[in-house]
Amino acid sequence: MKDNHLASLRIYNQKINNPVFTKPEDVVKYMVAMQAQDYASAKWAIGLRMQNAKEQDIENAINQGKILRTHLLRPTWHFVLPQDIRWLLTLTAPRIHAINASFYKKFGFTDTSFNKTNELLAKALQGNKQLSRPQVLELFKRSGIATDDIKFTIILMRAELDQVICSGARIGKQFSYALLDDLAPASPALTHEEALTKLAAAYFNTRGPATVHDFANWSGLTITDAGIGLENVKEQLVNEVIDGKTYWIPDSPDALLPKKNTTFLLPAYDEFATSYKDRSALIAPEYVEQAGHVVFDPSIIVNNQLVGTWKRSLKKNEVTVDLNLFGRVNKTQTKALEAAEAKYRKFLF
């Protein structure tokens, strides 16, 4: 029961089996940062946590700048709100620079070269302009800046980390970039410890039960900094020791109540998987061998645990959902899966 106990509480605190939000930006505000590496999947991760969600509503919130997309934390793409992006970048960018240092050196980047590309981007985007990735690539080429795929990615990520650019509205099917100053005006700075405390509170209240090692892995922080953040919010939490590990969780009696809905189609890279270093609680024990390498894939969740994977085939106004179950499900679970598919179709159309 250990794994299902952890999984059921996480499902609850992540608002997957009890969606309460009606606006996409409110989901991101609650979760603080949501992995958005796979764009279509990331939109469904928001929709899964909403009541009566529509994909277009989430697309609109992104295009209107209510939700931003940038690199932070580990790093990878994340959805984040304008009011949170600066303190999160200030907290996590130094760690990301340390991770990226070998790439900077390998490809000949220096602070001087990054200053040049940052200034070029800032000038081109002045006046609330937004440029698609191909337009930014052409800008660099005209300026004589080498832009193979890896170098281009490094330059843009550095500009994000330096708080110069962030995502803009989509231009057709193309992603675009905008000045961060245009979409997220400057806000009062937090001290390093204030930011650690704020992030720890957000993490354990939305992802608990979790350990300090889970928090460090998710945030990209050192275990020392993660421990400082946790220490500052312990009074808001309760803990439970399972197999010698201390798990922290918000003090919420409602989370212990049984929930009828325990069947879901999770998107790829959902926070239910990516939020933890130890992901064993996610996987149904009988399917550890089959599921161990697919925890980041689109996942079928039954009884709060991974029992298979799924994929979609999308046409103009139709979607086909193919289920790959690792074992059999009963009639009740089959009906629940049909309801989960219906929810996903309703989200798209």
Residue 29 lies in a domain: no
Question: Do residue 272 and residue 245 come from a single domain?
Answer: no
Residue-level pLDDT at 258? 53
**Which comes out higher in pLDDT, residue 318 or 261?**
318
Residue 330 lies in a domain: yes
Question: Do residue 268 and residue 251 come from a single domain?
Answer: no
Give the CATH number, domain containing residue 229. 1.10.10.10
Residue-level pLDDT at 187? 84
pLDDT of 243 over the 80 cut: yes
| Mean pLDDT of all residues in 265-275 | 96
Question: Do residue 146 and residue 166 come from a single domain?
Answer: yes
Residue 37 lies in a domain: no
Residue-level pLDDT at 244? 94
Residue-level pLDDT at 254? 60
**3-state DSSP assignment of residue 249:** strand
Question: Do residue 72 and residue 151 come from a single domain?
Answer: yes
How many CB atoms neighbour CB 65 within 10 A? 19
304-335 pLDDT tens trace:
999 999 999 988 888 999 999 999 999 999 99
Question: Do residue 235 and residue 286 come from a single domain?
Answer: no
Structural domain tally of the chain?
A: 3
| Mean pLDDT of all residues in 231-252 | 93
Question: Do residue 170 and residue 82 come from a single domain?
Answer: yes
Of 229, 256, 283, which marks where a domain is finished? 256
| Mean pLDDT of all residues in 52-77 | 96
Name the residue range of residue 99's domain.
67-183
Question: Do residue 178 and residue 93 come from a single domain?
Answer: yes
Residue 95 lies in a domain: yes
Residue 208 lies in a domain: yes
Of 238, 256, 274, which marks where a domain is finished? 256
Question: Do residue 229 and residue 324 come from a single domain?
Answer: no
Give the CATH number, domain containing residue 158. 1.10.10
Question: Do residue 311 and residue 216 come from a single domain?
Answer: no
Rounded to two decimals, the pTM is 0.94
Residue-level pLDDT at 257? 56
Of 154, 183, 212, which marks where a domain is finished? 183
Question: Do residue 235 and residue 166 come from a single domain?
Answer: no
Q: Of 71-80, 145-154, 247-256, where does mean pLDDT reach its minimum?
A: 247-256
H-helix segments, the chain: 2-13, 24-31, 39-48, 55-63, 82-106, 111-124, 133-142, 149-161, 180-183, 192-207, 212-219, 223-233, 271-274, 288-291, 331-348
Question: Do residue 218 and residue 295 come from a single domain?
Answer: no
Q: Hey, what long-range contacts does 218-223 have (CB within 8 A, 24 or more apart)?
A: 218/73, 218/74, 218/274, 218/275, 218/276, 218/277, 219/73, 219/74, 219/92, 220/73, 220/74, 220/75, 220/92, 220/95, 220/96, 220/99, 221/91, 221/92, 221/95, 221/196, 222/95
Match 């009988």 to its residue by tokens.
Answer: 286
277-311 pLDDT tens trace:
999 999 988 999 888 778 899 999 999 999 999 99
72-128 pLDDT tens trace:
999 899 999 999 999 999 999 999 999 999 999 999 999 999 999 999 999 999 999
172-194 pLDDT tens trace:
989 999 999 999 988 889 999 99
Match 């330096």 to its residue by tokens.
Answer: 162
Residue-level pLDDT at 1? 46
Question: Do residue 75 and residue 178 come from a single domain?
Answer: yes
33-47 pLDDT tens trace:
999 999 999 999 999
